[in-house]
Structure 1
Amino acid sequence: MALLPALAMAGEPAMKTRTASAEFDRLFVLAQTELEQDKVDAITDWSFNDQKPFPCVCFETGEKWHYVWTRDLSYAADLALAKLDPERTKTSLRFKLGAVRTPGVQGDQSKWKLVAQDTGSGGSWPVSTDRVVWFLAARHLLGDPVFRKEVEQALFMTLSQDDTFAFDPEVGLYRGETSFLDWREQNYPAWTAKDTTFIAESFALSTNVLHYEALRLAERLNRENGDTDKDNAGFYAAKADALRDAINRRFWNESRGMYMSYIGPAWAPVPVESYDLLGTSLVITSGVAPADRAQRALANYPVAEYGSPVIWPQQPATPIYHNRAMWPFVSEYALRAARATKNAERIAFEIRSLMRGTAKAGSNMENYELTTQAVHFEDGKLSGPVVNSPRQLWSVAGYLDMVMRGVFGVEDDGAVTPMLPTQLVPELFGDGDTIALDLGERRVVLRKPKSLGSAGLLVAGTQRTEGRETIVDLVPQDASVQGLRRNGAQFAPPQPEPPKPVRDGEAWRIAMAAGTILYSEGKRIERVDADREVEVRMTGTSQCFSATNVADEIESLPSRTTCVGPELHAERASPRVWHWMAPNDGRYRVSFRYRNANGPINTGITAGVMRLGLMCDKKLGPWPQFATIVMPHNEAETDSTSGTFEAKAGANCTFALNRGTNMSDLDHFAHYTGGKGGASGPLNEADIGTLTIVPLP
C-alpha cells in the first residue's frame, strides 16, 4: 500500500501544510519543488562515460552534482524518497548494483549483483566500506517481490564479501572509513592526506552501525522466508548481536558520555577524540545504543548557535567542508535521534536550524558554515564550505522528513506519532487550535490541548479517522531535560610529531612535550604536564607508540605511530610466495612494503586487495590461516594493512599472496573513464616489496 502519493507537481504542490507560520508552509513547498528538479532522465559525471550523458530515470545528487552516488542516494531514500517516489528510487538504487565481470572471482553467483562502493579514498573499497547504506534505503521497498529478490541477492553477496575482506574477527568490527565523512584530512589526522593505510585498517562507528542494520535486515528477510534459528536467520541474528556488543565495547567513551567516531587499527586501537553527528544519530536510531547511553550521547554532543556540527571538535588549519560545518541531512538524522530519546529541546533546535538554513539560502543547500549558517564564510585559505550545491538531494529529503515525521509524526508505516516540543506551539499554531499536513489522499490534523502545562512535549492522545482525515488530539508529556552543550565550534589542538623512542638499556626513552599524552598499543601510558622523558620498559616484542596534544581538556587527533623492536623478514621464493621459520611460539603481525600507483590518493577504484594464506608444518589446527591485505593508492612506497597469525617455535611457514577483489571487478564500473580499472578492464595489482613480520605482545 502506498503511504504517500508520488510527487507529480504541475504548478500546485502534491503536499501542503496548514500552520500559523507562512514561512514553514512556504519552505515545505520549496522542498517539493527542488525534489522535482532533482528528477532526471539522464546522468553525467566527469569520470564516467567520457563525460557523456547516459539514460537513467533517476534522482541526481544536486544542482552541481549530476550523478547518482550510493551513500547520497541511500540516505536520501531512507529519509524520504522511498515513500515519496518508490519507483524512481528503485531505479536509482538498481543503478548502484553491479555484477562481477572478472572470471573466477565470484564463482556460481557470477550473475548476482553487489552494491557498488563509489570512487574514493585510496582507491575505494575496502578503504571505504559504507556501501551497505544501500540496504538502509532498500528495506523500505520490499513490497515489490521482484525488487525484494534483488535486495536479498545483493545483501547476501555484499555481506559475504565484506565478511571476507573487511571484517576483523579479533576486534569484532568492520574496517573502513567513516560514512559520508570521506575527505580524509577533514576528520582524520592530517598525515592521512598522503597515506590512507591507517583509514583502511581503522574502525568507524557509522560504518559499523550500517553493517549492523544490514545484518538485521538479513535476519528479517530470512525469517520472513521461513528460515528458523538453526538456519540463516539465526546466523545473521548472532552476527548482529555480536556486532552490537562490539560497537558498545569499542566506541563508547565513558568520560565524554559519547561514542567515538573511529578508533585505530587492531594492532594499536588508539581511542580517538573525534565524534560525529551522523554516527551518533545512527547508533541511537538503530537501537545499538542502550537507552541510557543513547540519551547521554545525544545530550552531550555539542551544538553551535545555529545548528549542530557534523564533527566535534573542529580541526585546526583545515578548510571548511565537513570541518566547521553543519549538513542538513545529518541534522535530520539528529532530529530522529532526538525523537528516539524524547529530547524536546534538541527536537526544536534541529527543526529551527533546518528552517533557518533553507530560508536564509533560498534552497536546501549541501552544507553551511557552522558559526553563521552561511553558504560561504571568508577565512583566507580556510574559507568555505569549499563546495556547496543548491537543492542537494539528501538535504531536500531531510527537509521533507523534518516536516512529515519531525513535526507531524508520520512514520514509514503510516502511523502518526507526533512528538512536538511545546516551545514550537506558538510558532506553528498561533491563535489556532489545529495544524494540518495534506498528503493528497490523506490529511493529518494535529489538535493542540487546552493547556500545555509544564510538559516539554506534545504527543498523540486519541486518534480518529473522519473520511480522509486522521485527527490526532495532542496531549502533554514530560520530556528528558538535557539542555544543549554550546561549545560545538570548539577546536582541537594540532597533532604532535610522532614519538621517537631511543633505546636505553632495557627501556625506551621518549622525549615528550608538556601537554601531550603517550599511547602504546592503543593504550594510554601517561599524560605529560612538563617537558620531560618518559621511560617505557622493553618487552622484547614490537612496541608501537603514538601521541596526542591536549588543550582545554580536548585531545588532538593522534600522531603517526612509531613501532620499535624486533623486525623479521621472510625469504621470497617467487613473486607471490615467501618462506619463514618462526623463532618462538607466539602471535605475529605481517605486512608488506608496496607501491600502488594505479590512481590518486583521493579517488579511483583500484585499491590493491589481496588474501594472504599461511601454512606451517607445526600446525596449530587443521586449517591454514588467512588475512586480508589492502594496498591503497599511494605516492611513495609505504606499508600495507596488517594481518595477524600464530606460529610455534621452529615452524616452517609458507606465505602465499593471492588476488582478492576490488571495485574494478564490478561491471557497474565498465563506464568509469576517470582512471584505471574501469572501461580499460579490471585492475587489482601493486608493486610488492618486503614481507615484514613483527612479534606481538
Structure 2
Amino acid sequence: MENPSFNPISSTETFTPPHASNTKSEQVRLLSESPEGARVYQLTTDIDLRDNLPKDKRLQVIEPAGGARCRTGNLLFDALYAMAMQETAQNSVSCIQDADYSHGQPMDMSVYKTGEKWDFVWTRDLAYALHLGLAPHDTERALTSLRFKASHLKVGIQDGFANQIVQDTGSGGSYPVSTDRVVWALGAYEVMNHLSPKQRTSYIAEIYPILRDTIEQDRILVFDKDSGLYRGEQSFLDWREQTYPQWTENDTLAIAMSKTLSVNALNVFILRLGGSIAAELGYPEESKRYRAWVHSLHDTINQRFYDEKAGLYRTYLLSEYGEHYLALPRYDLLGQSLAILLDIASEQQTRRILDSYPNGPHGPAVAWPQESNTPIYHNQSIWPFVTAYWVKAAVKAGHTAAVNAGIQSLMKLSAANLSNMENFDFVSGKAYIKTELNEGPTINSRRQLWSVAGYLSIVQNVIFGLHATESGIRIEPFVTQSIRTELFADTDSITLANTPFLNTINTVTIHLPEASTFVSERAKVTCVLLNGREVTASIVRPEELQSDNQWDVYLESDEPTPVNSPLRVVNVYNQNEIYTPRPPEWDDDKGGVRPNGGLLKLFLKHPATGSIVFDVYRNGKLHAIMKDSTEWLDLDSDDFSQQAYVYHLVARCQQNGLVSHPTRGRRYLPSRQKLIIGAHSMNRIGGSLIDKHHFEDWGLPDHQISVSGIRVNQSGRYAIQVSYANGSGPINTGITCAVKKLEINAPANELNTTGYLVMPQTGGWEQYQLSNSIIAELDTTQPYALRISEDPYSRNMSYLDSNVAYTARVGGSNKRYNFVNIAEIRISYIGFL
C-alpha cells in the first residue's frame, strides 16, 4: 500500500464521499457564521449509528465565540475539529457519578468525565487524554481531575508510602493485578508544560511525593528483581479474555504475574519524570537512583520484549505463577507507540515497527492477531485514541504513510459516526456489527474522552505542529504531500485560531507549498514569524509571547526523497489472514502429562490437526513442534525426577504462522516432590479455623500464619504457594486483591527467602485457587519456618482515602480490607540448585 489517498475527504462545502463498507454518505453544511467568525455546522450521515443516536442522523456543531477553531478551506476538516471541541465541552462537567461510588449519587467537582456512557473519572482515560490533546484547553479542570486520581492513605493507616496514584477498580480486585496507574505521570507532565513558571514550581512540589511514593511502592510489590521488569495487566487492554487466554476469565493471577510492554514503557516515563523533578527539587540521591532504574529498564525492555523476526515488540511475557514466562508472537498498538514515543525503540526498530504492524482498510487494530471466538471490544477493534498515538509515533519517525493512513482513519470514522466514538470493528469499520462469526463492539460510547483528545491531537500537534515544552512553545507542522494535495487542495494557507497557551491566545497560520511543486514526502519549515518578527530559536519562551499572538509558518517542498516503505495491510475479509487457530486442550482422559517409560508423555485434543502444528513450550522456552499427532513423548525428559518441567501448548497455523493462546501449564510432580500443609496444621493469630479446612476472617494487619519444622525430601529450588479464596468481589472488578508477605526462615531465625503473595478476587469464598509462587532454595539438612503476615507494603487500593467513597462492596468506608481464606500451603520441587 502506497501513501493512502485522502479521496474520501473533500474540501467542498457539501461533502459526499464514495461509498465504503462502513459509510453510505456523509455531509457537512455551514448553517451560519457570526460577525465574530464563529460558525454553526450541520453534520449528517445515513449509516446505521450506534444506539441509533442521534435519531435523525444529524448533528449540529456550534463553535463558541472566542473558542479554538480551524479555517482550512476544507469544511469537513473544520467541522470535525469543532465537533471535537464541542465534545470536550460536553465532557467538562461539574459533577460525576458511578454506581460503585457514593451509592451512585452525584459527586460535585469540576472535572473531565470519561464519555457519554462513562460519568466518572478514570486514571488511564484521563491521563492519556491530557497527554494527547486536552491539556491546553482547561488546565484548572485538568489539575482538579488529576488530583482526584491521587490519594493519601486512609486515616489511621501508619507506615508505608502515604501518597499514591489511584489504580481504578479492575481485574481481580485492581492493584497489584492491574498496575498501569503510573500512566498518571503522562497527564501530569503534559499539564505541567501548560503552567506558568510560578504555577509549575508549586505543582512539581505537589506531585513529587505522589510520583516518589508510587515509584517506591511499586518497586517493592510490582517489580521483579529476577527479570528486571514490572508485573501487571496491560495498560488499557484490561478485559482479561479479550487479549489474554480464555482461562484468565476466571483466574486473573496470570495477568498479575505477567510482564507487559505498555506497563513497563510507562514505568520508564514515570521514573524519568521522577528523576528529573527530584534533581530540580534538590534530591540528588533519589534522582540518581531513578535515572539508573530508567537505564536498566530501557535495556531490559529491548532484551525481553523485542521480537527481531517480526520487527515488533511483544505485547506481554505470560506467566501463570511467576515461575516461567512465555514470549509468544502477540502484539499491541499502544505498546508499540509508547516504545517509540518514549525513546525505548531505536531509529531502526522504530522504522521496522511502523513498516510491520498490521493495518486494515479502516485503521490499525489495537491488538494483533484476532480471535474469532471472542466478542469485539479490544479483540478485533480500532480505538481512535490509540490510532492517534500511532500517528504521533509515525510523525516522530517521519513515516508519512502511517501518518496519512492514521489521519484518514480518524477523520473518516468520526465523520461517519457523528462523534469521536470509543471504538470500532476492525473488519468493517462500524461502531456495531453482528455476523455469524462475531459481534460488537460489546460496549461503545459517544464522545469518549481519549478519542476526542486523540482527534484534537492530530490537528493541534501533528498538522499544525503545536508543542508545549518545559521551556516554552515549539511549532513544527507535519504536512505530507497527500495532506496538501488532497485535504487542502483549494487553499494556500490553513489556520488554527484562538489556541490557549499559558495565559496567551495563539493563532497559527500555515502557509502551504505550491501543490504543483510539492515533490517531497513532507514539507519543510523555511520561516516562522511571531507577531511579524522572525523566530530563529526552536522554542519560544513564555516571556516572549504577547497576550494575543499571530504565528505565520512558511512551508516549502523538501528535496525529493525515497518513498517510505509501504504499510503492512492485511486482507480483513480473509479469515485465515487475521484469525488465530483454536487453542489446543489437554487430554485429561489420557493424563495430560504423565510418565511413560522413564520419560514424560503429553496428550492433547484439537479438531484440526491437519492444518495445524503444535508448539510445545517447556519451562517457558520453545522445546518442540508436534505435527499430525495429538501425543508426544519428550525424549529429553529422563531427568524429570531432578528437574520439574512445565509444559504449555500452542496451536500454530502452518499457512499464516498465527498462533493461538497457550493452554494452562501442566507439570508432573511425584508425590515425594510436593508438600501440602493444611490449615489445621498451621499456627495462626486471628481468624477462625473452619471444618479443619481453612481460615476465615483472617487478614487484619496483626494477623499471622506460621508453620515450623518444615522439611523437604530433596534439596533444590521450591515454589511456595497458598491455596486461597477471596470472595470479597467478582473476578472482573473491585479493589480488594489480597496481598500478604511470606517469609521462610532457616535455623537460628536466619531469613532465607521473602516475597509477596498476590491473591486476586476469586468471585466467591468457596472458589479456591493458587497464589503466585515464591521461589526458595531449600535443602534436606535443616528444618524451616514459614510465616505469612502483613507489612507496610502489603497493600491494595482499599488502603487509599479516595476509596472511602467506594460503596459497591467491601473495601470502602474508612476501613482497609485485606482478608483472604487460607486452606493450604503448597511447597513444590521445581529443580536442583
**TM-score category of the 2 structures, normalised to the smaller one:** over 0.9
Question: Aligned partners of 2:313, 2:586: CA distance in 1, in Å?
Answer: 25
1:590–1:642: 8 Å Cα contact kept in structure 2?
Answer: yes
Q: Tell me the equivalent position of 1:91.
A: 144
Larger mean CA deviation between 35-44 and 407-416 belongs to 407-416
Counterpart of 1:630 in structure 2 is 758
| Residue aligning to 1:644 | 775
1:479–1:473: structure 2 CA closer, same or farther, 3 Å change rule? farther
Q: Is it true that 1:600 corresponds to 2:730 in the alignment?
A: yes
Aligned to 1:359: 415
Structure 2 unaligned segments of length 5 or more: list them.
1-61, 500-504, 533-548, 573-577, 685-704
Aligned-partner residue type, residue 588 of structure 1: Y
Compared CA separation, residues 558 and 476, structure 1 to 2 (3 A): farther
Contact 2:518 2:556 in 1 (8 A): no
Q: 1: CA distance between counterparts of 2:526 and 2:776?
A: 59
**Post-superposition offset of 1:584:** 4.7
The corresponding residue for 1:100 is: 153
Distance 2:520 2:109 in 1: 50
Separation in 2 of the partners of 1:181 and 1:312?
12
Q: Secondary structure at the match of 1:419?
A: coil
SS of aligned partner of 1:244:
helix
1:244 aligned to 288, 298, 323, which one? 298
Aligned-partner Cα distance in 2 for 1:240–1:272: 25
Partner Cα distance (1:203, 1:105) in 2? 30
The 1-side partners of 2:493 and 2:64 are apart by 26
- After superposing the two structures, state which structure 1 stretch, 97-106 or 392-401, moved more: 97-106
Match of 1:256 in 2: 310
> What's the CA shift for 1:207?
0.8
Secondary structure of the residue that 2:181 maps to in structure 1? helix
Q: Which residue identity is paired with 1:642?
A: S
**Within 5 A, what are the aligned runs for 1:298-697?**
298-379=354-435, 382-413=438-469, 414-440=473-499, 441-450=505-514, 452-467=517-532, 468-477=549-558, 478=561, 481-487=564-570, 489=572, 490-498=578-586, 500-511=592-603, 514=609, 515-531=613-629, 532-535=631-634, 536-537=636-637, 538-539=639-640, 540-551=642-653, 552-565=656-669, 566-570=673-677, 572-575=681-684, 576-579=705-708, 580-617=710-747, 624-635=752-763, 636-659=767-790, 660-679=794-813, 681-697=815-831
Take 1:133 and 1:561, find their aligned partners in 2: how far apart are those partners? Answer: 32
Distance 1:62 1:647, change over 3 A: same
Rate the CA distance shift 1:223–1:553 in 2: closer, same or farther, 3 A.
same
For the 8 Å contact 1:43–1:53, the answer to whether it is kept is yes
Counterparts in 2 of 1:452 and 1:694: CA distance versus 1, 3 Å: farther
Kindly provide the CA deviation profile for residues 395-437 of structure 1, in whole angstroms up to 9, marking residues without a partner as x: 1111101100121111123211122221111233314322221
Counterpart of 2:507, as a letter, is R
* Whole-angstrom distance in 1 between the partners of 2:254 and 2:146: 30
User: Against the structure 1 CA distance between its residues 51 and 86, is the aligned structure 2 distance closer, same or farther, given a 3 Å change threshold?
Assistant: same
Aligned AA for 1:428? L
Q: Secondary structure at the match of 2:359?
A: coil
Query: Relative to structure 2, which stretch is displaced further, 289-298 or 342-351?
Result: 289-298
Indicate conservation of the 8 Å contact 2:599/2:633, yes or no: no
Contact kept, 8 Å, 2:648 with 2:662, in 1: the verdict is yes
Stretch moving more, 287-296 or 526-535: 526-535
Q: State the Cα distance separating 1:542 from its structure 2 match.
A: 2.1
Q: Which runs of 5+ in 1 are unaligned?
A: 1-8
Q: Equivalent residue for 2:22?
A: none
RMSD over aligned CA atoms reads: 2.0
Amino acid across the alignment from 1:299: D
Q: Is the 8 A contact 2:111 2:145 kept in 1?
A: yes
Asked whether the equivalents of residues 314 and 332 of structure 2 are also in contact (C-alpha less than 8 Å), the reply is yes
Report the CA distance between 1:680 and its aligned residue.
Answer: 7.0
Q: Is the 8 A contact 1:457 1:479 kept in 2?
A: no
Q: Which moved more, 1:520-529 or 1:450-459?
A: 450-459
Taking the aligned partners of 2:468 and 2:414, their CA distance within structure 1 comes to 24
CA deviation map 1:12-65 (0-9, x unaligned): 361122213111011001110110011111100011101100111111111111
Greater Rg over alpha carbons, structure: 2
Q: Work out the CA distance in 1 between the residues paired with 2:717 and 2:557.
A: 60
Query: What is the CA distance between 1:383 and its match in structure 2?
Result: 1.7
Task: Report the 3-state secondary structure (helix = DSSP H, G, I; strand = E; otherwise coil) of the residue aligned with 1:234.
Answer: helix
Could you say which residue in structure 2 is the equivalent of 1:284? Answer: 340
**Do 1:351 and 1:406's aligned partners in 2 also have CA atoms closer than 8 Å?**
no
Letter matched to residue 38 of structure 1:
N
What SS does structure 2 have at the residue aligned with 1:568? strand
> For the residues of structure 2 that align with 1:179 and 1:245, how far apart are their CA atoms?
20
1:129 paired to 2:179: yes
Question: Is the CA contact (8 Å cut-off) linking 1:422 and 1:452 kept in structure 2?
Answer: no
Letter in 1 for 2:308: E
In the alignment, structure 1 residue 37 sits paired with structure 2 residue 90:
yes
Pick one of 122, 128, 132 that aligns with 1:79.
Answer: 132
In the TM superposition, residue 380 of structure 1 has moved relative to its aligned partner by 5.5
* 2:73 counterpart letter in structure 1: A
What is the rounded CA distance, in whole Å, between the counterparts of 1:682 and 1:524 in structure 2? 43
Per the alignment, residue 112 of structure 2 pairs with 59
Find the aligned partners of 2:286 and 2:134 in 1 and give their Cα distance: 30
- Asked whether the equivalents of residues 358 and 569 of structure 2 are also in contact (C-alpha less than 8 Å), the reply is yes
Identity %: 33
Instruction: Find the aligned partners of 1:529 and 1:348 in 2 and give their Cα distance.
Output: 43
Contact 1:343 1:479 in 2 (8 A): no
The alignment partner of 2:795 has SS state of coil
**What's the CA shift for 1:586?**
3.3
Shift of 1:104: 4.5
Q: String of CA shifts for 1:460-512, please: whole Å, max 9, x gaps.
A: 23222234322222234447722111127411112211472120233101135
Letter in 2 for 1:24: F
1:4 is aligned to: none
Distance 1:520 1:399, change over 3 A: same
Query: 1:151-172 CA deviation, whole Å, 9 max, x = no partner?
Result: 1011111111111111110011
- Report if aligned partners of 1:308, 1:488 keep a CA contact under 8 Å in 2: no
What residue identity is the alignment partner of 1:96? K
Residues 204, 488 of structure 1: alpha-carbon distance in 2 compared, 3 angstrom cutoff:
farther
Number of aligned residue pairs: give it: 682
**What secondary structure, in the 3-state scheme, does the structure 2 residue paired with 1:316 have?**
coil
Matches of 1:381 and 1:100, distance apart in 2:
48
Partner of 1:48: 101
Contact 1:127 1:200 in 2 (8 A): yes
Secondary structure class of the residue paired with 2:479? strand
